[in-house]
């Protein structure tokens, strides 16, 4: 469980709505997305990142003598090339590869790691283990690195979960039937409330504010 001690002592972290680029001592470049916490552990034998929360894009500097791995929840992602993204949520980890490939493993498959290649994405959950690798739209997946959110017929429930990552407080959906409504659009991540207003107008739904931090869709 992530505690306030982890937050205070983490090597790198971003606040809600903040992004940060970090260059590590080996030349590897990281882009931390909103509300991300991670630690760095480099030695003469290995390079390890502990992604405690959030989402980070990695552009890994080559070093054949020291593997580069990202550990998050019960998963390990080892770079076999350069560019990939790891996102951790409360119940899952998702790895997306932009260039070359990575090797993923977990305690459920300690002797059977899987290779995920450029243009593919794979997810892990404690209950379901690893999903099959699937092809993804790299432009849509990496949009947050350009300050955008891109949705293509995504369920409103999924869209609201993403909006909640970029704003303080929380958006709730009161009517469960609204969760399946499809949302398509390109929005700025630095103004999630404007995105929400556009979505409400498009779908014909309304919101109620009970405080600056709690908003209910109905």
**Where would I find the H helices in the chain?**
4-9, 138-141, 156-165, 192-203
The DSSP secondary structure of 27-65, one letter per residue, reads S-EEEE-TT-EEEEEE-SS-EEEEEEEEEEEEEPPP-TT
d(CA 40, CA 19): 18
The Cα–Cα gap between 47 and 80 comes to: 13
Write the CATH number of the domain with boundaries 147-217. 3.55.50.30
pLDDT tens digits in sequence order for the chain, 218 residues long: 444 445 567 899 999 999 999 999 999 999 999 999 999 999 999 999 999 999 999 999 999 999 999 999 999 999 998 899 999 988 899 999 999 999 999 886 656 789 999 999 999 998 888 999 999 987 888 899 999 999 999 999 999 999 999 999 999 999 999 999 999 999 999 999 999 999 999 999 999 988 878 999 99
- Tell me the pTM: 0.90
Q: Which CATH class is domain 4-139?
A: mainly beta
Residue with tokens 């593997």: 67
Domain ranges (residues) in the chain = 4-139, 147-217
Q: Do domains 4-139 and 147-217 have the same CATH topology?
A: no
């Amino acid at each position: 469980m992530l505690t306030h001690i982890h937050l205070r002592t983490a090597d790198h972290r971003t606040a809600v709505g903040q992004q940060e680029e970090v260059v590590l001592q080996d030349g590897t470049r990281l882009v931390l997305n909103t509300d991300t916490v991670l630690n760095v552990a480099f030695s003469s034998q290995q390079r390890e990142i502990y992604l405690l929360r959030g989402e980070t894009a990695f552009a890994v500097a080559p070093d054949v003598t020291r593997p580069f791995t990202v550990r998050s929840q019960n998963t390990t992602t080892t770079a076999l090339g350069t560019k990939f993204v790891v996102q951790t949520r409360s119940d899952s980890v998702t790895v997306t590869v932009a260039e070359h490939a990575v090797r993923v493993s977990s305690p459920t498959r300690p002797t059977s790691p899987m290779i995920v290649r450029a243009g593919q994405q794979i997810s892990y959950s404690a209950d379901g283990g690893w999903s099959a690798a699937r092809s993804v739209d790299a432009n849509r997946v990496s949009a947050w690195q350009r300050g955008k959110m891109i949705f293509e017929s995504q369920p409103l429930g999924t869209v609201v979960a993403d909006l909640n990552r970029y704003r303080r407080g929380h958006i709730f959906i009161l009517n469960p039937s609204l969760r399946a409504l499809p949302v398509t659009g390109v929005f700025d991540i630095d103004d999630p409330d404007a995105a929400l207003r556009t979505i409400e107008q498009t779908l014909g739904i309304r919101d109620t504010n009970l405080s600056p931090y709690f908003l209910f869709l109905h």
